[in-house]
Amino acid sequence: MSLLMCPVCRQALHLVEHTWRCESGHSYDVAKQGYVNLHVVQHKHSKTPGDTPESVLARREFLQAGFYQPLQHAVVALLQQLQPKSVLDIGCGEGYYTSAMQMCTERCIGVDIAKTAIQRAAKLNSNITWAVGTGATLPVQDHAIDVCTSLFSPIPQNEIVRVLREQGHLIVVTPAPRHLYELREALFEQVTLHEPQKFVEQLAVQFNLTQSQCIEAPMLLDQYALKNLIAMTPYAYKANPERRMKLEQAQQFAVTAAFQIYVFEKNKKPSI
């Protein structure tokens, strides 16, 4: 049984040979790389939304080197606790975390607005349903998902509530207060601490916080890894160009990644 939804008419999509079709006659071909594009033109705000190809490649190479493996292991451990039959990774990027999630569930969907990222992801793991799509209209049927995940990605709260089953879970990963603090110190004149608690407040009406943990990953980066880390973050275009150029000349750089992980449970519907 399919979990995907037509982004135009919101009916269920069914895979017929190499094409996803709905009863209204809308159809979406599976690309040769193994993904489906469900980001229809009426939902687009730019020609090439999402991360740039350069950012996607930098993130792929940085993550494949294992620097954020402690976070990947922590997310897998949470899924092993929750034992979901279906997982939706929102803003899945090139699929590093999604592929690890897939080992913990029967059905796994990865959605990202960046076509370049999904193309790379589809080459990584053919056991996942990969879709280009937007969080504004997640291409997934109502109440079809046991666990949604958002790792350093937007949190389309109402859409998550729609696709989650009753008492389904949402795993959010966001920068802890001092995430990459040393890197930000080198790139910016002023550095403020991240405020992960804002997501707890934002989600409080529709979700209950059930778990919270902070994972730290000290890293000693060579020049190549450092350049990839900068390129995969918003710092690539926000930082002072002179400061960035100077930092990228460093042969080694010590920095600590700090990940704030929250697990939320969807509130039960109020009794009438």
Strand bridging mode 107-112 / 129-132? parallel
List residues forming the annotated binding site.
6, 9, 22, 26, 68, 94-95, 179
Please, are residues 119 and 33 in contact by the beta-carbon 8 Å criterion? yes
Task: Provide CB contacts within 8 A for 1, sequence distance 6+.
Answer: none
CA–CA distance, 192 with 130 (Å, rounded to integer):
36
CA angle 110, 11, 151 (to 5 degrees): 20
135 φ, ψ (degrees, to nearest 5): -65, -20
Q: ∠ CA 257-259-262 to the nearest 5 degrees?
A: 180
Burial of residue 261 (CB within 10 Å: 0-12, 13-18, 19+) is: buried
User: Exposed, middle or buried, 200 (CB in 10 Å: 0-12/13-18/19+)?
Assistant: middle
- Residue carrying structure tokens 């880390």: 229
Binding-site positions for S-adenosyl-L-methionine read 68, 94-95, 179
**Which parts are annotated binding residues for Zn(2+)?**
6, 9, 22, 26
